[in-house]
Amino acid sequence: MFRLGDLVGVIPGAILLGDLDAECENISIDSRMIKEGEVFFALKGERYDGHNFIEDIITKGARAVVLEKSFYQTNKSIHNLHEKKIISILLVDNTLSALQTWAHHIHSLYKPFTICITGSNGKTTTKEMIVHLLSSNYNVLKSRGNYNNEIGVPLTLLDLDVHHDVLVLEMAARKSGEIKELTGIVKPDIAIITNVCEAHIGLFKSRDNIASEKSEIISALKDKGTAILNRDDMYYEYFNNRMSDHNYLLSYGFHQEAQLRAENLRQEQDKGVHFDVVFEGKKYHIFLPLLGRFNAYNFLAAFAVGIKMHIPIEKMINQILDFGTPEMRMQYAYLKRGILLIQDCYNSNPTAAKEALKSVADIPGEHFKVAVLGDMLELGDQAIEYHLEIGKKAAELSFDMVIGFGEHAKWIIKGALGQGIDKEKAYSFDRTEKDKIVNMLKKELPENSVIFLKGSRVMQMEDIARELTKSNENGEKSYNV
């Protein structure tokens, strides 16, 4: 709980039309979800403007509303709300900046040890692994869902309280300057860059620009903070050169010079991966209940955090055995007739798609394997080339059937056909034809097949998985791997 006067004291230039001592329960940015006694920040987005929902939040009992001065000056009807004492009004120059300033204040008030993660792939899984490994020793607050942008990060900070020892945040970058903006709100004690690949390359134009953006998280490290970097990433040396003499480095990967080095990786059926980790001259065997070499990287980053946070190594090795990935990230379910469904539908880019295809292809045994590959977005002028590549990769890895889905489906299939897949086993569907994909998969697959779904978030390929599992006559459980 806080007073409206607290907001006025923290946000530069804020003007309160109301009672300074009025007590508030919480902050909300969603007029649909606001509760009695809360303060509503009227944020402006590309497709909405919170200033348009003032009547709704008054009806629901909001204590106050934070508005931009420019809106207040040009909308005389709002003046009556203050004059009639219907609701308190806090006027600010920019509502988003005001929210970020208040979140920064909350963080500086509680001062949790802060771990920030960025990178093209693996942010969420790495975050969840870190929380999983630290939670037995620390009270941890983590980013909610995909709250990893200029709005999501401050909203997470508002959940901080005196009980939290550690804060774990994802930081995404969809525009130039975003990481700098986020680290201006909260600076990390530990900064992790998982990798740099083609994700959002259509927005940044080149990998070099993406790497430059990600490197801002290193520049923002607190004095004596630690950067945890992927030694196998092509930008490792670039990131290393951004390090300050006052910071520490812990590298991980399969590279011979990685401080935390993995080796001897092998996949066990559909159960997970085994590998060894060498650290400070000692070798440790790891079983990770997740598919894919890429998940070994995610674990190594989390393992590095655990080491820096003084969690016993043997304890972490045991704890990771019961880890499950976040929803829609290499999540699998057994369907009727022994069919294995693996959905990795939360997001997609060329590197992630190729790595996931390989992990599914590596599942041993006589399985008929189907790759259902949806559009990968924000790839700019190179979109056609990248979709050709993943179709080619699926055929190269000997998938028995490839199904393209979406606007770029024809290029996926062209790539697969160019690599020699049977044209009778290559299909293309547009975004309105999910039902046709479901019917085909239900009718045409032999027993013990493996179905793999991969696509960008906007493709909503989980709808296909939902329809396939809906008719699961065996009532088998779903698992995260």
Q: Where are the domains of the chain?
A: 2-93, 111-322, 331-480
Which CATH architecture fits 2-93? 3-Layer(aba) Sandwich (3.40)
Q: What is the average pLDDT across 212-238? A: 96
Q: What is the average pLDDT across 398-419? A: 96
Q: Of 198, 197, 236, 200, give the one whose Cα is nearest residue 218.
A: 236
Report the alpha-carbon distance of residue 407 to residue 388 in Å, rounded.
13
Topology of domain 331-480 in CATH is Protein-Tyrosine Phosphatase; Chain A (3.90.190)
CB 350 within 8 A of CB 386: yes
pLDDT band at 177 (very low <50, low <70, confident <90, very high): very high
pLDDT band at 477 (very low <50, low <70, confident <90, very high): very low
Burial status of residue 3 (CB atoms within 10 A of its CB: 0-12, 13-18, 19 or more): middle
CB 318 within 8 A of CB 146: no
pLDDT, tens digit, 9 for 90 and up, residues 234-292: 999 999 999 998 999 999 999 999 999 999 999 887 789 999 999 999 999 999 999 88
Look at residue 88 and give its three-state secondary structure: strand
Per the listing, tokens 């508030």 go with: 24
Enter the tokens of residue 10: 């923290």
Q: What is the DSSP string of 396-411?
A: HTT-SEEEEESTTHHH
**Per-chain mean pLDDT for the chain:** 92
Residue type, 86: I
CB 349 within 8 A of CB 168: no
User: What is the DSSP-derived secondary structure letter of residue 222?
Assistant: P
Q: How far is CA 363 from CA 39, 290, 390, 393, 431, in A?
A: 52, 12, 19, 16, 29
CB 328 within 8 A of CB 344: yes
CB 92 within 8 A of CB 12: no
Other Cβ atoms closer than 10 A to 313: 15
Q: Return the axis-axis angle of helices 95-110 and 178-185, rounded to nearest 10°.
A: 50
Quick one: how far is CA 358 from the chain centroid? 21
pLDDT, tens digit, 9 for 90 and up, residues 79-106: 877 677 789 999 999 999 999 999 999 9
Report the alpha-carbon distance of residue 414 to residue 65 in Å, rounded.
54
CB 265 within 8 A of CB 275: yes
Other Cβ atoms closer than 10 A to 91: 23
CB 292 within 8 A of CB 356: yes
pLDDT, tens digit, 9 for 90 and up, residues 34-92: 999 999 999 998 888 999 999 899 999 999 999 999 999 998 888 877 677 789 999 99
CB 398 within 8 A of CB 363: no
Report the alpha-carbon distance of residue 220 to residue 177 in Å, rounded.
13
What are the two backbone dihedrals, phi and then psi, of residue 190, each rounded to the nearest 5 degrees?
-125, 130
Q: How far is CA 395 from CA 285, 330, 367, 370, 389, in A?
A: 33, 20, 15, 10, 10
Q: What are the helix (H) ranges across 43-194?
A: 54-59, 69-74, 79-83, 95-110, 123-134, 152-157, 178-185
Cα end-to-end distance, the chain, whole Å: 40
Domain 111-322: give its CATH superfamily.
Mur-like, catalytic domain (3.40.1190.10)
